[in-house]
């Protein structure tokens, strides 16, 4: 434990969470709208009996879900990990679930200690719009060739300037990121894009998807992705794909922190 003041000590706790992005206006607190952070802080505060501030591994936008997000908070209250987990889940919004709770050293930070993050984007590719799981899929009616999309996505693997594939409102001062792994796969009418990188820019995945769709439909060649990337111009890329197909899936940390993975029963 570390000292907050002369009379109080705090413990830092890390939590793995999943959430349905559909009811929330993103992760970060907003003044008048429900967000994942505001709901979590209210629930954790009830269990802790004091106000808390939550930090996350990666902020998500309105409508974007998370299968394994990591957060941390500091507390002066003593509870077992099980008591924290069950208490927060009882007090929190039904669209949020805490998967695990673990004490960590005070040099751990959910965002700044992370070494990589992963996202997944799911498309349902068929002529008829979906009724089931429609808030977690993006519907594309025209036929898509996932092999062409995969080939184009490989052009982004490595370290590049992704200025052309970020939001025009992105506030990051640095647009260079490293993509470690990227793939497009298909099972039946479901196409999944998965990307792991050292970090992401605002709307980066959604803009990548919006650029891959014309390639998959045959309107643009695979080489167009390289042209877009080289241009460093957002106007040269495709549209921003909808948020509902996007999920934050995983985050990795240095081994010495012993942060659990996302295989939670």
Catalytic residues: 61
The DSSP 8-state label assigned to residue 113 in this structure reads: T
Pairing, β 158-161 against β 176-187: antiparallel
Q: Which residue has the tokens 């949020």?
A: 96
Closest CA to 61 of 117, 116, 19, 15: 19
Rounded CA-CA distance 253/233 in Å is: 32
Cβ neighbors of 3 (< 8 A, separation 6 or more) are: 9, 10
Which 8-state DSSP code applies to residue 151? Answer: H
Q: Is 119 annotated as a binding residue?
A: yes
Task: Name the residue with tokens 């921003």.
Answer: 240
DSSP one-letter code for 218: T
Buried b (16+ CB within 10 A) or exposed e, 186-206: beeeebbbbbbbebbbebbbb
Of 12, 17, 13, nearest to 262 by C-alpha is 17
| Residue 184: DSSP 8-state | E
Question: 215 and 229 in contact (C-beta within 8 Å)?
Answer: no
Query: What residues form the annotated binding site for substrate?
Result: 119
């Amino acid at each position: 434990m570390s000292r907050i003041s002369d009379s109080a000590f705090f413990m830092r706790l890390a939590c793995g969470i999943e959430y349905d992005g559909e009811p929330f206006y993103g992760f970060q607190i907003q003044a008048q709208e429900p967000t994942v952070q505001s709901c979590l802080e209210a629930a954790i505060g009830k269990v802790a009996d004091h106000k808390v501030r939550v930090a996350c591994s990666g902020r998500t936008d309105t409508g974007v879900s998370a299968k394994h997000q990591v957060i941390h908070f500091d507390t002066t209250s003593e509870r077992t990990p099980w008591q924290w987990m069950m208490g927060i889940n009882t007090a929190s919004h039904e669209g949020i679930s805490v998967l695990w709770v673990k004490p960590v050293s005070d040099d751990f930070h959910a965002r700044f200690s992370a070494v990589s993050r992963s996202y997944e984007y799911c498309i349902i590719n068929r002529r008829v719009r979906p009724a089931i799981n429609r808030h977690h899929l993006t519907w594309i009616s025209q036929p898509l060739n996932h092999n062409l999309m995969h080939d184009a996505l490989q052009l982004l693997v490595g370290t590049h300037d992704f200025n052309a594939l970020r939001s025009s409102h992105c506030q990051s001062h640095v647009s260079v990121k490293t993509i470690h792994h990227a793939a497009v796969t298909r099972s039946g009418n479901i196409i999944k894009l998965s990307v792991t990188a050292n970090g992401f820019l605002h709307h980066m995945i959604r803009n990548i998807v919006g650029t891959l769709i014309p390639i998959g439909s045959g309107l643009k060649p695979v080489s167009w992705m390289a042209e877009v990337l080289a241009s460093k111009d957002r106007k040269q890329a495709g549209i921003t794909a909808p948020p509902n197909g996007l999920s934050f899936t995983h985050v990795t940390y240095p081994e010495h922190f012993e942060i659990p993975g996302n295989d939670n029963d």
